[in-house]
Structure 1
């Protein structure tokens, strides 16, 4: 399972009642942060997420409301006695931005691995040093598959989707029937294929049927491009920008490369997701719930995000 905390639900600029859009994903005691606008570390302290166990930071793009809080947060993480490396993912030119503008002025007691414009799919795996990124390996079941997509915004921007695999049941009777040596059961159970005593043993020789995992998708900022429906398809939770609540603001959404509530809801419907959470509200929108019906009339299971919103996604 994964635990989620919406640190902020605002877009553009922070206001007293609303931090800027950011999300914490907690898995197996470690954390992934998506976006880091101004004030994100204040929200992290307010909602008691902690700093030391943030292993991966995913940046969608380099507008201030998604990025300007990063230097301060990196320093705070350093002050939390973290020594393990930390991974930062984002579109080009994230490497140049970090190497020229942020890292030279910030002393950090840990290494930073920069992943610029990652492959469309990579694995997130638990290690002794926390969560790490790996290339997909056809010989083992990935723990979490991280997928990315290029969005349609006014600057290079990435959307993120996380699929937490669920291991099939280990069947002792099947292992015995296939005469699999006990010494390699644990490796096959982890999804690895093993060469042993002149034979090849594969996970399907000891495991039951495939079981559905957990999918979380996060899209901001973007217009609702056609490819997004397939990218988010079947998500247990789809977190999407809803910069504009009113249908009357469609022209603004088109001009500024954002979405209205109704557009996000249509995307959720076409992507056959289970639940839509709207976030990234314009600072001019005092009460996003006033416009909830614009989304609910299209996609019934729509929620309006707010700072400190929490949810646990579990296997079904």
Structure 2
């Protein structure tokens, strides 16, 4: 199961019922956090999810509402007894920004590894999670992220038996490796079934709409996207500050043919985002307004239906 939780849904400043932006994902023992705004520790504790288990922290960009919670979180991870490295990933200048913040969080008991995204955006294999950054448009280096679980084709033992392939070689073929034995060459395609659909969750905040986002989130099972403003009359302001409206996020979801859209990163002035939900749903019907600790459990197509906790 692939767990996704919106830890914070606010933009710019925290509110009593809305902490700053952060999203937590976990699968098969790997935990990943995207952004770390103020209040991230509080919602994680309320959710009951482990600080110690966080392996990767990704940043869309370095405005304070996306990174201000990092020093305290790293201290808490250290106090949890973690000694294994934690990997931080983000746009250029990541190390410089984080090392400045760590002046108030020195002597961590675990090493920090840095991966800065420059130029071309590589596909990152983070244990069982495949992360593909895509460029956003916020007037400063900014990325969204596609997080995928890719499934190998099913191994067909009956085919392996019929071909007389020795049992010790089955595992290598299942991994996708070619095996040569006593002059015979066995290809994975000989014993693997059709490709199986995996899972894809995408996250993007602080951007104007652009093709790189649509391409990056294409066919996602869940697209989490900023809806800084619900009011159509805020369109001029959205353009000026490089943000999106509900309608623009819904239009990208429709263009990308995603299954579900969650809106997040609301302006402090947007007290009741549900008031504008119908306008987004007229464009993309399966749109939901995000709220802190909103959680979804995604399962593969051949498993039972996923569930959402709101």
TM-score exceeds 0.5: yes
> Which among 222, 225, 228 is matched to residue 240 of structure 1?
225
Note the C-alpha offset of 1:177.
3.2
* Structure 1 partner of 2:287: 302
2:217 equivalent to 1:215 = no
Q: Distance in 2 between matches of 1:86 and 1:94?
A: 14
1:197, distance to aligned residue in structure 2 (A): 5.2
What does residue 120 of structure 1 align with? 122
| d(CA) in 1 for partners of 2:191, 2:98 | 46
SS in 2 for 1:44: helix
Deviation at 1:262, TM superposition (A): 0.1
- Stretch moving more, 224-233 or 198-207: 198-207
Question: Gapped runs of 5+ residues in structure 1?
Answer: 126-142
* Gap regions ≥5 residues in structure 2: 302-310
Query: Counterpart of 2:136?
Result: 151
Counting matched residue pairs gives 299
Q: 1: CA distance between counterparts of 2:182 and 2:16? A: 66
What whole-Å deviation, never above 9, does each CA across 1:87-136 have from its counterpart, x for those lacking one? 110001102222344268421111111110074312121xxxxxxxxxxx
Residue 107 of structure 2 corresponds to: 107
2-structure distance, mates of 1:23, 1:168 = 30
8 Å CA contact retained: 1:87, 1:112: yes
* 1:4 partner SS: strand
Structure 1 residues 46 and 20 mapped into 2: Cα distance closer, same or farther (>3 Å)?
same
| CA distance in 1: counterparts of 2:103 and 2:131, whole angstroms | 25
- Maintained 8 Å contact 1:120/1:149: no
Aligned to 2:305: none
CA 105–26 in structure 1, closer or farther in 2 if over 3 Å, else same: closer
1:109-258 equivalences in 2 (<5 Å): 109-117=109-117, 119-125=121-127, 143-194=128-179, 196=181, 200-258=185-243
The alignment yields a C-alpha RMSD, in angstroms, of: 1.6
> Are the counterparts in 2 of residues 24 and 34 from structure 1 also a CA contact under 8 Å?
yes
Distance 2:180 2:88 in 1: 36
- CA-CA distance at 1:182 after TM superposition: 1.3
Equivalent-residue separation in structure 2 for 1:154 and 1:123 (angstroms) = 28
TM (norm. structure 1) is 0.90
Structure-2-length-normalised TM-score: 0.92
Query: Where does 1:274-285 land on structure 2 (aligned, <5 Å)?
Result: 274-285=259-270
Specify whether residues 259 and 90 from structure 1 end up closer, same or farther in structure 2 by C-alpha distance, changes over 3 A only: same
Contact 1:75 1:107 in 2 (8 A): no
